Amino acid sequence: NVASKNIELKKLVYVYLVRYAEEQQDLALLSISTFQRALKDPNQLIRASALRVLSSIRVPIIVPIMMLAIKEASTDLSPYVRKTAAHAIQKLYSLDPDQKEHLIEVIEKLLKDKSTLVAGSVVMAFEEVCPDRIDLIHKNYRKLCNLLVDVEEWGQVVIIHMLTRYARTQFVSPWREDAVFDENGEKTFYDSEEERRVDQSKPYIMDPDHRLLLRNTKPLLQSRNTAVVMAVSQLYWHLAPKHELSIITKSLVRLFRSHREVQYIVLQNIATMSIQRKGMFEPFMKSFYVRSTDATHIKTLKLEILTNLANEANISTILRELQTYVKSQDKAFAAATIQAIGRCATNISEVTDTCLNGLVLLLSNRDETVVAESVVVIKKLLQTQPSQHSDIIKHMAKLFDNITVPMARASILWLMGEYCEHVPKIAPDVLRKMAKTFTSEEDIVKLQTVNLAAKLYLSNSKQTKLLTQYVLNLGKYDQNYDIRDRTRFIRQLIVPNEKSGVLSRYARRILMAPKPAPVLQSAFKDRDRFQLGTLSHTLNSQANGYLELSDWPAVAPDQSVRIVEVVKEAGAPVLGKSKPGKSAEKFYSDSEEEEEGSSSEDSSSSSSEESESESEENSDDSNKSSSSQSENSSRESDSEKKKKTLKNKKLQQQKPDILNITYLPPQIIQKALLLIIMTKLFSIHIVLSFSNQFVANCRCSLLCLCVFLACQFDAVSWHVRVSLQASFPVFVPETSHELLHRMTGKGLSAQYRFTRQPCIYGNSMVSLQLTLSNSSDQALENIHISEKSSTGQNIHRFNAIERLEPQASVTVSMGVDFNDSTQAANFQLCTKEDEFSVSIQPAVGELLLPITMTEADFTKEQGKLVGMNESSATITMTPENVSSQSVNRKVVSVANLGVIPSSQENIHRFAGKTVSSGCLVLVSVALKDPDAGITINTEKTVMGSMLLRQVKTALTNSGP
């Protein structure tokens, strides 16, 4: 099936090969030669598909073949094929990394390609195979910058990321304080080499190539593709001067209207940017307000950005917005909001007290999650000013019994122990309550209870000595080994005895040491170590294949490496290479023009609408190449071409005349053909429809006459299509099939048989003969077929039988269009009183009409129906079935086919066409004693396989 001419079938076979070639390598190798031939196909789509599949078959033994195919495709005239070659480079490199040096040569060649279709693909191959070979980009840097706007969106993203890394290695940092920015910096573009060398003592002046990259990527901020906008934004963030970063802000904010996934990535990158450059997004602060329809992860990111943007000027507005978020039904979001309030209080000292008072009010909230998060944040804020907030600590101690979240209870216990001297009366009472519930608390609460007991023992041992010993005894036998270890350590540390060493002397300094206040920072603080827009930045960990951005060079590398000398060779083609041994004049010879025309017609007829649109897009490059070569041709050849094109246009403008010749006497047909010759019609379509008698006499002579005339007149385009009508059936079975039994039909019985004659009711119908019998003792009236049909087949009903006497019979004819299917035709056979459901199940052989043709025509048509259109089998025949008469009789008995005369005794041929669609059905039986090979060719593949089973059964049956 790889060699099939059907492009849709080719695609399916290609997909199958790519999937299973690695598992069945030996079988996959059988198709390699077909792909090699397809690489020379005139249709660019077939060439590209063959290369795509050849490079996708991961069999190491064909690496040299793949390498050769990629090299040839890289010089193809079609940019679509060259693009496919660039994609194949990555596949070959992953299969055999040893081919790296050869692939780099192909990449270097394709990087010089001027087609926008190839640019993105070859840069992707460069990134996969040799991203460190920056020297390959030097000569193509300016071309890539200029082509960037016209490249497809996927290619734009790839090229922008590559150029970002390139610029960080070739240009000096524009973030210096003494930088000078000249938008018209092109003046230095063509200066001498000495003038281009910038002394370090002079102020920074932006490199014109650096400015070229920024200027050519700026229009892409208006792209509809979010990946392109994100790529340009990260390029400006890593390469542009600080004062120019504001141009990316609107484009990033515009992306909020996209899908949830896009919002997530964009907000992550904005969160990283907003830490360093708050002024960029402050004018668009309202765009980051949380909506009720946002998902939790989107809400959290917007909250993160709002917190980063907070300053003395807008903190009141942000705090009012945060107060609303605290009331959200989303518990996780409400907890994140409280964390954000704590960060604002830490970063902006003017609102610390306000935030703290607001968090204290939240302690009376009904939601445990809000209360717990508030306690944790208050604990962190109190560490900044503990002496001034003893009232808050007392308030939290009063609420301790109502708080059930372990983290919040542990935070209150830590505060009591850390600042027990500020609340000397309350702290021992809290420890007393904890001693009662110690065994039922969570592990984190138990640990803080032990710490509280130790600190109270050191600061107020008179009141808490016995209580501390009780808590330590409880912890000594706890099920958790961490609590047991902590308890034993604390006992040895705070209770001096003979075994405790010098460490117990420093117990107070260890446990009561002042702790630094925690710094509430953004989770995106360290994300800038990864390049924006990358997977590593999103995951906040280095992903496989990530390439770090290099630091700016201290001294700018030589600019001359990017200067390209344009050398125009006379008569050289723009793209690809012409075939060796063919001069420019022969390139435009008449014979080659005709060959190109025929090949283009074949390719256009076989390709789909999508492929036609792609070929139209890619035709510009080929037109350029042909125009550049036509300048070198002589004036004489130009004039000849003009005359020929005008002549061809006139021929094309005239519509072809269609002449239908039905069955006429030979003399009239000969006169008509002579009339055609005399009038010199330019394009004639002749449809010959013969009856059986005329076929035997005149068919061959008429066809020979048509071919002779077509050869004599080269200006006339002859399109001869022979349409043969059905011949008489060779064999008509007399057996009948029961349609309705007399018991079921209440005396009415019906039988049907196939007449194998052309149906008079319609060309697509099968002719049937019904025999209706009345076996009852009463007459049956109004026997007819109901208009209802359950399966939807087109049925021509017989005329209603008004009266059928007892013990009488009547024969009627009807037609059924089975649509070339063996599905049963269901209908209602009715009398005046009753309705009976009946069905006619056709055999596949009865859905055919016999035709006749010559042996040469049979062989020609059979050659067109190969691959999926062919069904074959080998059977062992009994000796009595080997004779020619027996084979013919048995085949035509099961299938309504015509017998084709054969010049070989051991080969029998039969031909027919389907009744409904008129598709050709060819059957050949080759006798090889004692076996026989059966081959059936037809476009109706299901019908062919069913017919094959019937023929096999007939030939292996020893009966009549």
Amino acid code (one letter) for 566: V
Chain centroid offset of residue 123 CA: 21
| pLDDT recorded at residue 109 | 93
| CA separation for the pair 387, 517 (Å, rounded) | 13
Phi, psi (deg, nearest 5) at residue 484 = -60, -45
Rounded to the nearest 10°, the torsion over CA 671, 672, 676, 677 is: -20
Nearest to 231 by CA among 164, 163, 157: 157
Higher-scoring residue by pLDDT: 710, 207: 207
Which of 37-41, 159-163, 591-595 shows the lowest mean pLDDT across its residues?
A: 591-595
| pLDDT recorded at residue 724 | 56
Higher-scoring residue by pLDDT: 325, 403: 325
Please say if the pLDDT value at position 490 is more than 80.
yes
Which of 348-362, 386-400, 442-456, 580-594 shows the lowest mean pLDDT across its residues?
A: 580-594
| pLDDT recorded at residue 178 | 53
Please say if the pLDDT value at position 921 is more than 80.
yes
Please give the average per-residue pLDDT across 502-512, as a whole number: 79
Higher-scoring residue by pLDDT: 360, 308: 308
Residue 586's pLDDT band (boundaries 50, 70, 90)? very low
Which of 327-341, 374-388, 427-441, 761-775 shows the lowest mean pLDDT across its residues?
A: 374-388
| pLDDT recorded at residue 918 | 86
CA atoms within 13 A on the CB side of 80: 19
**Helical (H) or strand (E) element with 920:** strand 920-928
Higher-scoring residue by pLDDT: 241, 498: 241
Please say if the pLDDT value at position 515 is more than 80.
no
Which of 132-136, 409-413, 507-511, 675-679 shows the lowest mean pLDDT across its residues?
A: 675-679
| pLDDT recorded at residue 210 | 92
Query: For residue range 715-773, what is the model confidence (pLDDT) as tens digits?
Result: 333 333 444 567 788 888 888 999 999 888 889 999 999 999 888 888 889 999 999 99
Please say if the pLDDT value at position 865 is more than 70.
yes
What is the DSSP pairing of strand 737-740 with strand 766-774?
Answer: unpaired
Question: Exposed/middle/buried for 324, CB within 10 Å: 0-12, 13-18, 19+?
Answer: exposed
Higher-scoring residue by pLDDT: 905, 127: 127
Please give the average per-residue pLDDT across 702-718, as a whole number: 43
Mean pLDDT of the chain: 79
Identify the three-state secondary structure at position 193.
helix
| pLDDT recorded at residue 577 | 40
Please give the average per-residue pLDDT across 204-210, as a whole number: 85
Please give the average per-residue pLDDT across 523-537, as a whole number: 84
Query: For residue range 385-396, what is the model confidence (pLDDT) as tens digits?
Result: 766 667 777 888
Residue 582's pLDDT band (boundaries 50, 70, 90)? very low
CA distance to 167, 638, 669, per residue, from 164 (Å) = 5, 49, 77
Chain centroid offset of residue 29 CA: 27
Please say if the pLDDT value at position 960 is more than 60.
no
| pLDDT recorded at residue 82 | 95
Q: Note if the bond before 930 is cis, omega within 30 degrees.
A: yes
Please give the average per-residue pLDDT across 609-631, as a whole number: 43
| CA separation for the pair 394, 425 (Å, rounded) | 10
Query: Residue 658 forms beta bridges with which residues?
Result: 685
| CA separation for the pair 470, 413 (Å, rounded) | 17
Query: For residue range 249-302, what is the model confidence (pLDDT) as tens digits?
Result: 999 999 988 888 999 999 999 999 988 888 888 888 889 999 888 899 999 999
Cβ–Cβ < 8 Å for 882, 927: yes
| CA separation for the pair 514, 393 (Å, rounded) | 18
Please give the average per-residue pLDDT across 482-510, as a whole number: 81
Residue 106's pLDDT band (boundaries 50, 70, 90)? very high
| pLDDT recorded at residue 654 | 45
Query: For residue range 109-129, what is the model confidence (pLDDT) as tens digits?
Result: 999 998 999 999 999 999 999
Sign of the CA dihedral running 12, 15, 20, 22: positive
Higher-scoring residue by pLDDT: 495, 909: 909
Please say if the pLDDT value at position 156 is more than 80.
yes
Query: For residue range 297-336, what is the model confidence (pLDDT) as tens digits?
Result: 999 999 999 999 988 888 889 988 888 888 888 888 888 9
| CA separation for the pair 800, 904 (Å, rounded) | 52
| pLDDT recorded at residue 76 | 92
Higher-scoring residue by pLDDT: 644, 956: 956
Please say if the pLDDT value at position 908 is more than 80.
yes
CA distance to 339, 343, 393, 400, 880, per residue, from 381 (Å) = 11, 9, 12, 18, 106
Percent of the chain at pLDDT above 70? 79
Supply 289's token pair: 């307000």
Please say if the pLDDT value at position 692 is more than 50.
no
Supply 557's token pair: 């590398």
Q: Phi/psi class of residue 842: alpha, beta or left (left: φ > 0; alpha: ψ in -120 to 50)? A: beta
| pLDDT recorded at residue 190 | 44
Please give the average per-residue pLDDT across 891-903, as a whole number: 90
Cβ–Cβ < 8 Å for 1, 9: yes
| pLDDT recorded at residue 226 | 93
